[in-house]
A and B are shown apart, each in its own frame.
Chain A
Amino acid sequence: MMIPTAPILVAIFALVAAAVYGVLTSRIVLRTLIAAELLFNAALLSLLLVASTVGSLPASILVLLAIVLTAAEVGVVAAIIVFLFHAKGGVETERLRRLRG
């Protein structure tokens, strides 16, 4: 069964554009994390789309490992955000810029 690639590319375009826009406009660290997750989803979909044309098995294993590591990454970033919220009283990006050395 043949699957057209145009709708998938439209979805990838929307995900990448929304992710970049979210990173540019967000004023809370959590929003930036959510935008980065959108970009991760776009990368995952691109990898699987390319894997449909070339070898699919190694790419699917790579995607499996990437999903596991992303779950861990979300855990670490969420822990850092909770810590910063306790230490600084908020997670706004303007407030966290003061952490620069």
Chain B
Amino acid sequence: MSPSPLSLESLALLTAVGLSVVGAIGAVAARRTIYAAFYLAVVGVGIATFMSILGFTYLGIFHLLIYVGASVSFLAFTVLMVEAEQEPPPRHRLSYALLSAGIAFVLVYPLYLLLPSAVERVTVDLGIFVDTLAARFQYPVVITLIALAAVLIEAVSVARRPSKP
């Protein structure tokens, strides 16, 4: 008996929630920073799954390629370069956890009030997406490319600067 599409959808949704929650908790609770970077990659996979479920499949693939594949890997290499043998453990406190939960509740509760209980899965056609990007969003794309080039040049110059005179 083959599973119905609804159950597969629910399974994908549960997987995405599990990846995001486990990754978020692991990223702040991991004892070593390299494990925290690994958990951040898990969060990235969960977010990409959410994107695909909501209908933004191309964005999910892009998120996997650029964010998980490049950014988190780059972060992990940085952790390996600067990680100390005995790094100080995080200051875990119950008061901080309660404060964090309170701030998150204040930020997320308006979304809960404003959004409907269920949303329709959107369909974003790649051709329309690219056409719209080229026709209506030329300036944001150009500004993003200039900013991207500028920050990469800045990153190279900062990393190559001699540390001691």
- Residues of chain A having any CB pair with chain B under 8 Å: 1-22, 24-28, 30-31, 33-35, 37-38, 41, 44-46, 48-53, 56-58, 60-61, 63-65, 67-76, 78-83, 85-87, 90-92
Contacts and interface: CB of A to CB of B under 8 A. Distances in A.
Give the size category of B's interface with A. 35 or more
A17 B50 contact: no
Contacts of A67: 59, 62-63, 66-67
Contacts of A49: 54, 111, 115, 119
Contact of A8 (B25, B50, B121, B148): B50
A24 B67 contact: no
B156 A3 contact: no
Contact of A64 (B33, B62, B120, B155): B62
Contacts of B155: 72, 75-76, 78-79
A56 to B, nearest CB: 4
Chain A interface, >50% SS class? helix
Contact of B17 (A10, A51, A52, A87): A10
Contact of A76 (B9, B81, B97, B158): B158
A6 B112 CA distance: 8
Contacts of A51: 122
Contacts of B88: 27-28, 92
Max chain A CB contacts within 10 Å: which of B58, B72, B82, B154?
Answer: B82
B67 A71 contact: yes
B104 A38 contact: no
A25 B51 CA distance: 30
B103 A38 contact: no
A61 B137 contact: yes
B108 interface: yes
B116 A57 contact: no
Contact of A91 (B82, B97, B119, B144): B82
B140 A65 contact: yes
The 7 closest A-B pairs by CB, nearest first: A18-B24, A86-B163, A17-B104, A21-B100, A79-B155, A22-B28, A16-B104
A12 to B, nearest CB: 6
Contacts of B1: none
